[in-house]
Structure 1
Amino acid sequence: MKTIFIPIYHGLQSVNILQTDAIHVLLSEPDTRVVVFCRPTKIAYYKERFKGYPNLVFESFVFELETTFIERILKFIGSNLLDTWDVYYLQRRRLMSIGKPFRYCAARVVSKILGNAKILRRLYRALDLRLNQRQVFGKYFEKYQPHVVFASDVLGVNDTIMLREAKKRCVFTIAMVRSWDNLTSKGVVRVQPDFLLVQTPRMFEEAVRLADMEPSHLEIVGVPSFDHYNGFVPDDPLLISKILSLSPGRPFILFSPLFEHYTESTVSILKYLETKINDGALPKELAVLVRYPPSYTSRKLDEFDGSKCIFFYQPGEHFPDTKTRFDWEFTKDDMRILANTIYHSKVTVNFVSTLTIESAVLDHPVVNIAFETMLHPSVNNSLRMLFKQQHIVPLLEIGGSKLAESYDELISHINSYLLDPTQDALGRKKIVEEYVPMFDGGTGRRIGKVILDRANKVPPRNV
C-alpha cells in the first residue's frame, strides 16, 4: 500500500486539501493510504467528519516549537533570511511590540547582508538540515513507511519539520505555498522540497527568486480555495438573510474587520458608518454586516449593542489556539455562505484582504480602506502601512477596486457603487486573470493528481 503523509495545522490547509477534490483524488485508488497529522484539539472533529474513508488516517500531533538554543537560532535566521519589504515590515512590528532593539538590529543584518545571497541561503539550508537532529515524527515514519510527504504549507512550522525528516530519510517530498502572501513575508523556505506547487505565475517567479527553486521543479496549479466559486449559483437571498440574522430583503454592505492592533480603527470606522447611515449620508435602510475573520475570537464590541444597522457574523468551526486567535475549520456550507454573502451584499469593504480577490471572482464591487483613524499611529497600528506590502502593491496597481483614503472617500465610494455596481468591472476581470489563474474548479484535482503520480513512481522505501 502506498502511503502519503500530509500535515494540516491551519484552517486554510484544510480548505485547500480536505475541502477540495484533492483528497478524493488521493483516495480514489484503493491501495493508497493518506495519513493526516493535526492538532490534538481537532482529532475528534476530523475522525467524525471523515469516518466514511477507511484509507484516511488521522494522527494527533502537537504543534511543535523549537526547544534548543540551536533550533531557536536557526529559526531566527530563517525568519529573517529574505531582504523583502514585507520581512522588514514584520521586523519593525516586532520591535514596536516587544522592544529588544539588539534583536531587531540582528534581524536587519541577517536580511541585508545574508538575505540577498543565494549561496548563503543554500549554506543556511544545509546547516539547518545538518544541525536539527530531533526526530519529531520518527515513530510515524517507522510505523507507516510513507512513499511521499506532501506539505501543503511549505513555510509552516510542522510542515518544515516533517519535510526535514523526510529529506533525511530519502522520502520524496512535495510541497505547496499555502497563500498568496507567504513567499515574501514568512521568511526563507528552510527545506526545499523535491517538487513545489504554486498557485499563480507571480508565485512561480517568487519561488525561483526567493526560495531558490529550479523552474523544472515547480508547477502552477491554480488556487484551490477558489474551486467552489467556479459555477457558483447563488441561493435565495431570503435564506441568506435568515442565516446572517438580517431582516429579509434588507440591503447590506459586507465589512471585513481587523482586530488586535487595529481594533480601535475598526471601531472608529464602524461608528462612522453607523453615523452616516443614521444621518442619511448613506441610505437609511442600509445595514453593515461585520464578518469576523475565521481565526479571530469573537471580541464583543459593546459599542454596538442595540445598534439598528451594525450586525456581526462569526463563520466556521473554532478550536482553541491563543487568547486572541482560533484555529478554524470551514465546511462546504461555510464556503457557500461566504460566496452568497459577497454576492448578495451591495459592496464589500475591507483592508485589501483575500476578500478583495473573492469579490472580484464574483464581479462584485470592492472598497479598500487606506486611511489612518489615529493621529500618529505606530507601525503596528498604521493602516496605510498595510498597503505597502509586496503582495498588495501589484493588486492595487491592477485596479478593480476603489481605494478610500479618507472617511469622506469611504462614503463617496460606497454611494458610487450603490448607484453603479458595474464600475471597475474590467479591473476585477484582470484581478481574476492574475490572481486566480486556471479558474476552472479543478485545482484540487490537479493537486491530487500530482501527488498521486509521484507516489506511483516512488518505489517502497526502508526507513
Structure 2
Amino acid sequence: MKILFALHFPGYFRFFDTTIRKLAERGHHVMLAFDSPEKQAEGAAALAGATGAIETVEGPPARGDAWDDVAQAVRGGIDYARYLDPYFADAPYLRDRMRKVLPPVFAGLGRFTTAGPAMASTLVRWFSTLEDAIPPSEAVDGYLRGLAPDLLVVSPLVMSRLRQVDLVKSARNLGIPSALCVASWDHLTTKGLMRVQPDCVVVWNEAQKREAVDLHGAQLDRITITGAQPFDRWFDREPSLSRRDFCQQVGLPADRPFLLFTGSSRSISAPTAEQQFVRQWVESLRGSSSSTVQQLSALIRPHPYNAGHWAEVDFSGVSNVSIYPRGDLNPLTPKARADYFDSLYHAVGVVGINTSAMIEAAVIGRPVHTVLAHEFVDTQMGTRHFQHLLPENGGFLKVASNLQEHLAHLEETLEHPERNRAALARFVSTFVRPNGLDRACMPQLVELLEQQVGRAPVVEPVSSLRR
C-alpha cells in the first residue's frame, strides 16, 4: 500500500525513522512530504541506507482560495483561546508564545490571560464551529488525488501555520483514512489544537490519551496507545566504548565518576541563561561540603539545536569539566547515537532543565536531577509536560528548589543509587512502554497503521472540539 507521511520538517525523522524503515521493508510505498523541507534538513541522515520504496514528494500546496485567510485566522485564534482555560493559568510562557502569532483580526483576545472554564470552552466551541464551516481545499484535494495514498499519516497536526488540517479534511473528502501519530511528549500540551480529528489518533500512554480527550476533544474509540517508539533504540543496548575509553575520548579522568548535564532546546533554555546556570552549577559542585560530590567530573552535552553559545566556552580554569561533543551533536546516525548512548550510560547521574534526554536517561536507568531555577520558571513548572516527570505524578525526577538542596540530592544518589530504581522503572513501564517492557513500540505502531487501510473515514463531526 501507499502511505503518505506529512510531517512538519525532516527533523521529525528522529521520531519516525524506524517506523518508516519498517513499513518500507514490509513492502509498502512510503511517501514523505514536509511543510518546511529546509528546516532541520540534516534529519534525513536518520534514513540513510534505508531499503525499500521510500521517496520524498512535494509538500502540500497552500489553499489559494477565498477561504485561505479565513482558515489561518480561525486556526490562530483557537490556538490562543485554548490557553485561556484555567488549566493553563500557570503557563504564561505558552500563552505569550501564542499571543505573538495571533492573527490581527483576533488581536483583542491577547488582552486576556485567562478566563473561566465556561467562557474558555465557549470560545473554543465558537472557533470550532467556524472551522467546521471551512470546506476542503480543491488544491489539496488535487494534491492527494495525484499521490493516491491508501493512508495519510500526519504529525504534529497541532500547529496553525501547517497545512495538515487541510490534508485531513481532503483525505476525508476523498475517502482516504487518516492517522495522527503524536511525535513527542509535549506536543499535546505546548502547541495548538487538533482542530480536526483524524480517523486514528496514536498516543504513547494513558497520560497522552487523557490529554487528547480532555484538551483536544478526541473521541476515545479513535485513540490507540502504542508506546513511545522514539525510545525503543535505547532499550537492551550496550555501550560502544568502555568507560575508560569513553572518558579518554571526552577528556575526563577515568578514575572519577561524572555527571552529565544535558542541554535543552532554545525555546526552553535561553542560551545565555543556560550557560550562566551551568557555570553556577559547576561552581556549586566544587564548593560542596561533601568530598564525594566535590570530586565529581562534569560532562556538558549541549542540545543539538541550542549549541552555538557553547562553541567558545572555556572551562580550562576548572578541573575535570568537559563540553562534548563540539560538533556532530544530533544523534541521527548510528555512530552519533552510539556516542550519545555512551554519554548517558557511563554517567553516574544526569542533570538538566527540561528535556527529553531526561526520559532517555530513565530508560537507561540513570537517576535524573534538576534545579527549579528562577530563570527557567516558565519553562519548567510553567509547562504541562514537565509535570509528567515529577514524583507526585508518577515520575522519577529529583527536584531541588536551589543548588544547595541539589547537592544534597546528589550526595544521596551517590550513596544510595538503589533508591532511584523503583521510580525510574515505574515511569518507564507506564509512560514509555505501557503495553509491556518487553514489547517494542515501533512494531505496534506499524501494525496499527497497516490496519487503517481500507477503513472508511468518519464523516462527522469535522471538528474534534465541537461538542
Structure-2-length-normalised TM-score: 0.79
Q: Quote the residue 2:167 is aligned against.
A: 162
Instruction: Report the CA distance between 1:446 and its aligned residue.
Output: 1.1
Contact 1:146–1:171 (Cα < 8 Å) also in 2: yes
Q: C-alpha offsets along residues 274-294 of structure 1, whole Å, 9 cap, x if unaligned? A: 334545646555322222222
Q: Is residue 185 from structure 1 mapped to residue 195 from structure 2 by the alignment? A: no
Q: Quote the residue 1:273 is aligned against.
A: 281
Q: Is residue 421 from structure 1 mapped to residue 423 from structure 2 by the alignment? A: no
Cα separation, 2, equivalents of 1:230 and 1:48: 18
Q: Is residue 213 from structure 1 mapped to residue 218 from structure 2 by the alignment? A: yes
User: C-alpha root-mean-square deviation of aligned residues, in Å?
Assistant: 3.7
Q: Quote the residue 2:79 is aligned against.
A: 79
- Say which of 172, 178, 192 aligns to 1:173: 178
CA 6–114 in structure 1, closer or farther in 2 if over 3 Å, else same: farther
Contact 2:24–2:52 (Cα < 8 Å) also in 1: no
- Say which of 327, 336, 350 aligns to 1:348: 350
User: What amino acid maps onto 2:333 in structure 1?
Assistant: T
User: What amino acid maps onto 2:347 in structure 1?
Assistant: S
Instruction: Give 1:300-315 correspondences, 5 Å limit.
Output: 300=310, 302=312, 304-307=314-317, 308-314=319-325
- Say which of 293, 305, 320 aligns to 2:303: 293
Q: Tell me, what secondary structure is at the counterpart of 1:255? A: strand
Instruction: Report the CA distance between 1:136 and its aligned residue.
Output: 5.8
Instruction: Report the CA distance between 1:17 and its aligned residue.
Output: 1.6
Instruction: Report the CA distance between 1:148 and its aligned residue.
Output: 0.8
Q: C-alpha offsets along residues 199-255 of structure 1, whole Å, 9 cap, x if unaligned? A: 101111222222222211111100101111221223322343355454445532111
User: What amino acid maps onto 1:366 in structure 2?
Assistant: V
CA 86–228 in structure 1, closer or farther in 2 if over 3 Å, else same: farther
Q: Quote the residue 2:200 is aligned against.
A: 195
CA 93–443 in structure 1, closer or farther in 2 if over 3 Å, else same: same
- Say which of 121, 143, 157 aligns to 1:116: 121
Q: Is residue 433 from structure 1 mapped to residue 429 from structure 2 by the alignment? A: yes
Q: C-alpha offsets along residues 406-455 of structure 1, whole Å, 9 cap, x if unaligned? A: 12112222222222222222222222232122333521111111111222
Q: C-alpha offsets along residues 372-431 of structure 1, whole Å, 9 cap, x if unaligned? A: 2xxxxxxxx442662243333353113533211112112222222222222222222222
User: What amino acid maps onto 2:72 in structure 1?
Assistant: R
Instruction: Report the CA distance between 1:68 and its aligned residue.
Output: 5.2
Q: Quote the residue 1:386 is aligned against.
A: 380
CA 455–240 in structure 1, closer or farther in 2 if over 3 Å, else same: farther
Q: Tell me, what secondary structure is at the counterpart of 1:423? A: helix
Cα separation, 2, equivalents of 1:211 and 1:362: 32
Cα separation, 1, equivalents of 2:326 and 2:456: 40
Cα separation, 2, equivalents of 1:68 and 1:440: 47
CA 96–450 in structure 1, closer or farther in 2 if over 3 Å, else same: closer
Q: Quote the residue 1:365 is aligned against.
A: 367
Q: C-alpha offsets along residues 157-202 of structure 1, whole Å, 9 cap, x if unaligned? A: 3433432332333321111212222222322211200111111011
Q: Tell me, what secondary structure is at the counterpart of 1:116? A: helix
Cα separation, 2, equivalents of 1:430 and 1:93: 34
Cα separation, 2, equivalents of 1:54 and 1:95: 40
CA 165–89 in structure 1, closer or farther in 2 if over 3 Å, else same: farther
Q: Quote the residue 1:321 is aligned against.
A: none
Q: Is residue 23 from structure 1 mapped to residue 28 from structure 2 by the alignment? A: no
Q: Tell me, what secondary structure is at the counterpart of 2:179? A: strand
CA 23–360 in structure 1, closer or farther in 2 if over 3 Å, else same: same
Cα separation, 1, equivalents of 2:296 and 2:63: 47
User: What amino acid maps onto 1:275 in structure 2?
Assistant: E
Q: Quote the residue 1:90 is aligned against.
A: 93
CA 165–62 in structure 1, closer or farther in 2 if over 3 Å, else same: closer
The percent of aligned pairs where both chains have the same amino acid is 18
Cα separation, 1, equivalents of 2:303 and 2:141: 36
User: What amino acid maps onto 2:3 in structure 1?
Assistant: I
Contact 1:256–1:291 (Cα < 8 Å) also in 2: yes
Instruction: Report the CA distance between 1:103 and its aligned residue.
Output: 4.6
User: What amino acid maps onto 2:244 in structure 1?
Assistant: L
CA 54–274 in structure 1, closer or farther in 2 if over 3 Å, else same: closer
Q: Tell me, what secondary structure is at the counterpart of 1:349? A: strand
CA 65–27 in structure 1, closer or farther in 2 if over 3 Å, else same: same
Cα separation, 2, equivalents of 1:193 and 1:355: 30
Q: Quote the residue 2:260 is aligned against.
A: 254
Cα separation, 2, equivalents of 1:224 and 1:165: 28
Cα separation, 1, equivalents of 2:42 and 2:358: 34
User: What amino acid maps onto 1:383 in structure 2?
Assistant: V
CA 432–265 in structure 1, closer or farther in 2 if over 3 Å, else same: same
CA 219–347 in structure 1, closer or farther in 2 if over 3 Å, else same: same
User: What amino acid maps onto 2:71 in structure 1?
Assistant: E
**5+ residue gaps, structure 1:** 319-327, 373-380
Q: Tell me, what secondary structure is at the counterpart of 1:422? A: helix
Q: Is residue 142 from structure 1 mapped to residue 140 from structure 2 by the alignment? A: no
Contact 1:80–1:87 (Cα < 8 Å) also in 2: no
CA 316–214 in structure 1, closer or farther in 2 if over 3 Å, else same: farther
Q: How many residues align?
A: 435
Q: Quote the residue 2:228 is aligned against.
A: 223
CA 385–33 in structure 1, closer or farther in 2 if over 3 Å, else same: closer
Instruction: Report the CA distance between 1:352 and its aligned residue.
Output: 4.0
Cα separation, 1, equivalents of 2:101 and 2:127: 26
CA 316–92 in structure 1, closer or farther in 2 if over 3 Å, else same: same
Q: Quote the residue 1:449 is aligned against.
A: 447
Instruction: Report the CA distance between 1:129 and its aligned residue.
Output: 5.1
Q: Quote the residue 1:323 is aligned against.
A: none
Cα separation, 2, equivalents of 1:407 and 1:45: 36
